Amino acid sequence: NTEEPWRPFNRSRVYMADLESALHYSLRGEVAAHTVIKGEALSSLKKYISVLAKYQKHFHYFPGRPVAINLLRSVNSWLQNQTGDEISYEALREMLDNSAQTPDTALPEGERWVGCQGSQPHLRRYPCGVWTLFHVLTVQAKNAEGKDPLEVLSAMRSYVRSFFGCRPCAEHFENMARESLREVTTLSSAVLWLWSRHNRVNNRLAGALSEDPNFPKIQWPSPEMCSACHTVKGNGEHSWNNEQVLAFLLSYFSSSSILTDYLE
């Protein structure tokens, strides 16, 4: 909707409105493209929702408002109870609609992008929200001392493979996962893996048509955001200080740093 007013925001913060909007579009838009969900897609969806609904050691993997957490829990228990070979999207939609009738259980009715606003309606928004959501999930899994370092990334991988609307993106992401996901052996390396693959994508897309001119693709975070993350060697060659990058990511995407502006 081009009429939407611009929402001023801080470019170096994460907004809950973007995380909730990403969930909304994922469940009501992207998954809805499948009339029947079965086989690999059904197991992908179950894995994805169970990661989103997970709570461990006082950490919600999706660190949202109680209403959103309640919704994810209901969807998760409903999905885990579906023992047949397939479900229809219609049944999932009904489930989402019915849950929304229950007090204290809801996702927003629509999308409201803030940190992921684009200068034009076809720029940023959902893909930006997906990256943000998955960075937050890897950080929450690290905080919650999750047992399986690959839990979040493999849920993300299979969600993207089964559902992500941009098919070339899904293919690129699958190639990166196939190539190096096995190198992830700790929760910290999972956080760093997603960061470094996201930078590879940024590198590939810099200057492409999908780039919002007001949000140029950079090797992130910029030296202005985290000077300690960058090391410049004597010969002028740039390298990352991974320890500092990790500390930066853990703080940047932590639930206590997420801003709640513009929520209903």
Is 67 or 226 the residue whose CB approaches ligand FAD more closely?
A: 226
Q: How far is the CB of 209 from ligand FAD (least distance, A)?
A: 8
**Whole-number Å distance between alpha carbons of 50 and 149:** 15
With respect to ligand FAD, which residue has the nearer C-beta, 87 or 139? Answer: 139
Q: What is the DSSP letter of 259?
A: B
d(CA 172, CA 179): 11
Cis peptide bond N-terminal to 221, omega within 30: yes
Complex with ligand FAD: residue 46 or 135, whichever CB lies closer = 135
Long-range CB pairs of 166-175 (<8 Å, 24+ gap) are 166/127, 169/127, 172/201, 172/204, 173/197, 173/201
Chain positions contacting ligand FAD, by CB under 6 A: 116, 124, 127-128, 130-132, 135, 160, 166, 168-169, 172-173, 195, 198-199, 201-202, 205, 208, 210, 212, 215, 220
Minimal CA–CA distance to 137: which of 224, 54, 215, 80? 54
Q: How many residues appear in the chain? A: 264
The CA distance from 213 to 186, in Å, is 36
> To the nearest whole angstrom, how small is the minimum distance from the Cβ of residue 50 to ligand FAD?
20
Question: 24 or 124, CB closer to ligand FAD?
Answer: 124
Question: Measured from the CB of residue 125, what is the shortest distance to ligand FAD in angstroms?
Answer: 8
Q: How near is the Cβ of 57 to ligand FAD at its closest, in Å?
A: 24
CB of 156 to ligand FAD, least distance (A): 8
CA–CA separation, 264 and 251 (whole Å): 26
Query: Between 87 and 136, whose beta carbon lies closer to ligand FAD?
Result: 136
Residues whose CB falls within 8 Å of the CB of residue 144, separated by 6 or more in sequence, listed in order: 54, 56, 57, 58, 59, 61
Q: What is the 3-state secondary structure (H, E, C) of 130-195?
A: HHHHHHHHHHHHHHCCCCCCCHHHHHHHHHHHHHCCCHHHHHHHHHHHHHHHHHCCCHHHHHHHHH
Q: Which is nearer to ligand FAD, 32 or 211 (CB)?
A: 211
| In the complex, minimum distance from the CB of residue 84 to ligand FAD, in angstroms, rounded to a whole number | 30
Give min distance, CB of 208 to ligand FAD, in A. 6
Q: Which is nearer to ligand FAD, 124 or 142 (CB)?
A: 124
